[in-house]
Structure 1
Amino acid sequence: MGGGPLDQEERLLCILPFDEPKEITARLREKFPKLSISFINMGSMTDEDVYRDKTILATLSALPPNPADCPELELIHVFSAGTNHISKHPIYTDTKITLTTSSGVHGPQIAEWVLMTALVHSHKYNRLYELQKQHQWGRPQVGGDYHSVRDMVDQRLGVLGYGSIGRQVGRVAKAMGMDVVAYTATPKDTPEKKRDNGFIVPGTGDPDGEFPSSWFSGLDKASLHQFLKQDLDYLVISVPLTKETTHLLGKDEFDILKKKQTFLTNISRGAIVDQPALVAALKEGKLRGAALDVADPEPLPSDNPLWSAPNVIITPHISGVGTAYNERAFAILELNLLRKQLGEKLVNVVNRKRGY
């Protein structure tokens, strides 16, 4: 996306589910003197004419009803990693307004959630916590359950979708002594292709793609199955939800994973997994367990059989939230404001054809 001179006037509208973070907006005004900022808490949004003269929009989901309502809009920065929730909106389908995402801000906290739930499962923590609530010390059964804990060293982690989140998961797993293998839509067969060109929280991730011991790629089932056949002890799903990834994992895939009784973790979107097939795989012991921060649908109805599936950990789509989220999302916007003015390539630009 091209830019203008450094003194070009920009009109930024923020419609977000929180009150204005004045320290952040003050910093933006100081850094960009020609930038005017309007901030609306989306909970109090009433006037749909607010988009008319704006050149930049920062939003989670609020968009102009129609392209005619935003004739000067050049850039929309979305405060989420994905854009599947707005992919059917006419602003997405019928315009060429540049879209950028907040991909990259979630890696640290989601990687911690992935590790936390894996350890809760492998160390039998839920059972220990129940003993604590009952004021019971408990004793390991000789050769029994509490003696069956295995550490992460030399176990193999498959990361399905080696983007910003997957790269931080890979970094943490490598620090735990695990072997990491990665799967991407397109081949990463050169050092340049393995690099992460998106936003990276300093000191995190895998900027040069150095952690995976092997890479797999493809958009077809045969390629996916070849990846799943790599004796995976853990599988982390971190691909975006698109038409191609909907129900990407189902009965056939769980039949492959049963060889190692893989532990499945999904921090992406619930619809990437065929949920009834997942429940069946857990009940039949094809999977060691599952940690799910997403479900299909959300909220998950109280009578859904997923709740009572064996060895499952379910949380309400919170793995990516944290106190640093807003600061980091605005940091991406700040970086792109500067790049836009300098006429440089923006980071985290959405490829509408690919859906992310």
Structure 2
Amino acid sequence: MGGGPEAKKDKVLFVLPFPEPTDVTDRLKRKFPNIDFEYINLTSHRDGVWVRHKELPKEIYHDITILGTLAVLPEKPEDCPRLELTHIFSAGINHITDNPVYKDTDVTFTTSNGIHGPQIAEWVVMTALIQSHKYNPLYELQKQHKWGQKHTSENYGKVSDLVGQRLGVLGYGSIGRQVARVGKAMGMDVIAYTAHAKDTPAARADNGYIVPGTGDPDGSIPSAWYSGTTKAELHRFLAQDVDLLLVSVPLTKATLRLLGAAEFAVLGRRNAFVTNISRGKVVDQPALVDALKDGTLRGAALDVVDPEPLPEDDPLWDAPNVTITPHISGLGDAYAKRAFEVMELNLERRANGEELINVVDKKRGY
């Protein structure tokens, strides 16, 4: 904010669905004595369910300059006349893009992109290995206290390890970079696909938040890069002998139903495995079910589906070789800590007049 004796102090309002982490907020108050902080926990946890226990009056937003939230925004721009910066405590923003404060103002939005890579990468590896190592039937045997036989219909001896397989990363952001790092460490070849060309070292660098010791900061892991916004360019990437496809693109108008029957047919040349941790609507779900049933794809791991929750009678539940989890791959005990770290870094940058990280390009939608 501007200087002068009459200048108002910045005010940060946190509106989040978990109790205040006082160790974090106390540190912020000490570090930024010229900022007023307020924290509102909108929900409580009762009998295993998060319950919203208060509604916010619109007046609460009137004097804030910075908002930290997961999904709750003022309803109208006139409710927040001083708002300059909103930090979203998630990587995706598709759930807020219809809000007038997002659509109709020049308020800067930043995300927590970069905090999810470690736990999601572990989920990706876990679900891939569960299927390739035929763990599900082994677990059923364990529950029955039975010792499995090596040579059965499951054919446990025919496990294909990941060494030499090709990982195609569709959307080479922070999550894709950490999956690539882990995949390469396990002996995989990695190729990357982005909407826009990354044809220089500077363009391939990750300039967002990076959990220390993770990811691909300089973009050196992929053996090849592909890019484009047309089906032909996408198919060229998918046709590069991809064994495991990671879907990690944001949900936008351009990526809605990006993968369907035609794309699965291309992947079917290698009988590929598809992993989706982005959004369910990126995939044509009925086409995916068909590709699993007829063996075009050898399997799929899905942390996101359409709709969520997935109805009990949806045919996806019974598709062969599919693992489904309830949109939890990004969760972990470090989630909030890392999201606050991104916001703290941007508070520092803002105070120093420096460029912020993880700024949303509203034209692209991410």
Q: After TM superposition, is the score higher than 0.5?
A: yes
Matched, 1:74 2:84: yes
Number of the residue aligned with 1:33? 33
Letter in 2 for 1:132: Q
CA distance in 2, matches of 1:80, 1:23: 21
SS at match of 1:86: coil
Matched, 1:17 2:27: no
Number of the residue aligned with 2:75? 65
CA distance in 2, matches of 1:270, 1:228: 19
- What is the deviation of 1:128? 0.5
CA distance in 2, matches of 1:204, 1:122: 25
Matched, 1:171 2:181: yes
Indicate which of 97, 102, 112 corresponds to 1:102. Answer: 112
SS at match of 2:36: strand
SS at match of 2:222: coil
CA distance in 1, matches of 2:292, 2:255: 21
CA distance in 1, matches of 2:311, 2:175: 28
Normalised by the size of structure 1, how large is the TM-score?
0.97
Letter in 2 for 1:26: D
- What is the deviation of 1:45? 3.2
Question: Structure 2 vs 1, CA of residues 352 and 20 (structure 1 numbering), >3 Å: closer, same or farther?
Answer: same
Number of the residue aligned with 1:321? 331
- What is the deviation of 1:309? 0.4
Number of the residue aligned with 2:46? none
CA distance in 2, matches of 1:144, 1:301: 29
CA distance in 1, matches of 2:140, 2:58: 51
Per-residue CA deviation, residues 88-112 of structure 1 (Å, 9 max, x unaligned), is 1111110010000000000000000
CA distance in 2, matches of 1:64, 1:188: 37
- Please say if residues 8 and 341 of structure 1, whose CA atoms lie closer than 8 Å, have aligned partners that are also in contact: no
Number of the residue aligned with 1:134? 144
Number of the residue aligned with 1:256? 266
- Please say if residues 268 and 294 of structure 1, whose CA atoms lie closer than 8 Å, have aligned partners that are also in contact: yes
- Please say if residues 140 and 146 of structure 1, whose CA atoms lie closer than 8 Å, have aligned partners that are also in contact: yes
CA distance in 1, matches of 2:146, 2:85: 58
Indicate which of 107, 131, 150 corresponds to 2:160. Answer: 150
Matched, 1:279 2:279: no
For 1:222-241, list aligned pairs within 5 A: 222-241=232-251
Per-residue CA deviation, residues 30-63 of structure 1 (Å, 9 max, x unaligned), is 1101111111112333322210000000001100
Superposed structure 1 runs of 4+ greater than 3 Å apart: none
Matched, 1:349 2:359: yes
- Please say if residues 114 and 209 of structure 2, whose CA atoms lie closer than 8 Å, have aligned partners that are also in contact: yes
Per-residue CA deviation, residues 163-186 of structure 1 (Å, 9 max, x unaligned), is 000000000000000000000011
SS at match of 1:84: coil
SS at match of 2:210: coil
Question: Structure 2 vs 1, CA of residues 4 and 160 (structure 1 numbering), >3 Å: closer, same or farther?
Answer: farther
- Which has the higher relative contact order, 1 or 2, with Cα contacts under 8 A spaced 6 or more apart? 1
Where does the alignment leave 5 or more consecutive residues of structure 1 unmatched? none
CA distance in 1, matches of 2:313, 2:289: 13
Where does the alignment leave 5 or more consecutive residues of structure 2 unmatched? 44-53
- What is the deviation of 1:129? 0.3
SS at match of 2:114: coil
Number of the residue aligned with 1:215? 225
Per-residue CA deviation, residues 243-267 of structure 1 (Å, 9 max, x unaligned), is 0000000000011011111000000
- What is the deviation of 1:9? 2.5
- What is the deviation of 1:156? 0.3
CA distance in 2, matches of 1:146, 1:248: 35
Letter in 1 for 2:21: P
Query: What is the alpha-carbon root mean square deviation over aligned residues?
Result: 1.4
Per-residue CA deviation, residues 313-349 of structure 1 (Å, 9 max, x unaligned), is 0000000000000000000000000100111100000
- What is the deviation of 1:142? 7.2
- What is the deviation of 1:10? 1.4
CA distance in 1, matches of 2:28, 2:207: 23
Number of the residue aligned with 2:50? none
SS at match of 1:91: helix
Query: Which is further off, 158-167 or 45-54?
Result: 45-54
Query: Which is further off, 186-195 or 41-50?
Result: 41-50
Question: Structure 2 vs 1, CA of residues 163 and 279 (structure 1 numbering), >3 Å: closer, same or farther?
Answer: same
Letter in 1 for 2:83: L
Normalised by the size of structure 2, how large is the TM-score?
0.95
Matched, 1:339 2:339: no
